[in-house]
Amino acid sequence: MSLDPAHAARIVKAVHGRQEILADPAYELELADTLKTSYGASGLVELYGRFSSGDGFVDALMRRSVLRALSRSCGARLQVGSGAVFKHPETFEFGNGVFVGAQANIQGRYDGTCVIGNNVWIGPQAFLDARNLVMEEYVGFGPGAKVLGSAHTGMPADVPIVRTDLEIKPVRIEAWADIGTNATILPGVTIGKGAIVGAGAVVVSDVEPFSVVAGVPAKFLHWRTDSDLTRTASQNNGAIHER
């Protein structure tokens, strides 16, 4: 066994989003239909809780089957990690090939909209305020990254802030964008197509397509080029290419 770490960065092939998405087995679709018929919404939520934390085949099958039964729509090959939490999944639309990492927390609202497009990858421990959220296809959302889609008005000032009205602003992450680990997207922000948000950034305003932003608050660094893609992958220890 070698104790010497590999010092050179390396590029490896991506996994997520590169494979053909096959239809789910018929028995899974039938299971979801049966669950939907047999349980009310509250019953399905309770049932999800029974299988939310396991890592086995049955646990994973039941998580995606219950979500299929609860959600507005659900594409093929949904993957949901253990401990993932969903609030108001009846407002969710999942595309094909969506991955939701372990302990991710996606919070919708009964009258909200949450669209997660084809081949979106959501990292472990991500938090998404999904009251009015659209993620287009092939979005990468890093571990621990956050979407904040709302804030209290804080007015009037003579009552506790948590009792003041909530202002919900739409957040949109356009296709191919990549959000770095622990980055935070604030309410009302649109991340342009193919943009890169650096790890730990706090994004307070719209990001132009195919640009690179980083920092607190996030600022424009430069436009993407093919050489930038290679450098970013190397700086992230290949994380983009391992999805």
One pLDDT digit (tens) per residue for the chain, 243 residues: 666 767 788 888 888 888 888 899 999 999 999 999 999 889 999 999 999 998 899 999 999 999 999 999 999 999 999 999 999 999 999 999 999 999 999 999 999 999 999 999 999 999 999 999 999 999 999 999 999 999 999 999 999 999 999 999 999 999 999 999 999 999 999 999 999 999 999 999 999 999 999 999 999 999 998 755 555 554 444 444 445
User: What are residue 47's phi and psi, to 5 degrees?
Assistant: -65, -40
Q: Are 67 and 48 in contact (CB under 8 A)?
A: yes
- Cα 88 to Cα 221: distance, rounded to the nearest angstrom: 37
Taking each helix axis as running N to C, give the angle between helix 26-38 and helix 57-70, from 0 to 180 degrees, rounded to the nearest 10: 60
SS3 state at 132: strand
- Cα 72 to Cα 45: distance, rounded to the nearest angstrom: 14
pLDDT given at position 243 = 54
Nearest to 41 by CA among 113, 89, 109: 89
Reported pTM: 0.87
Q: Are 213 and 194 in contact (CB under 8 A)?
A: no
pLDDT given at position 229 = 54
pLDDT given at position 226 = 72
pLDDT given at position 8 = 83
SS3 state at 230: helix
- Cα 27 to Cα 100: distance, rounded to the nearest angstrom: 22
How far from chain centre, in Å, is Cα 66?
18
- Cα 212 to Cα 179: distance, rounded to the nearest angstrom: 10
pLDDT given at position 1 = 66
Q: Which residues contact 23 (CB under 8 A, 6 or more apart)?
A: 76
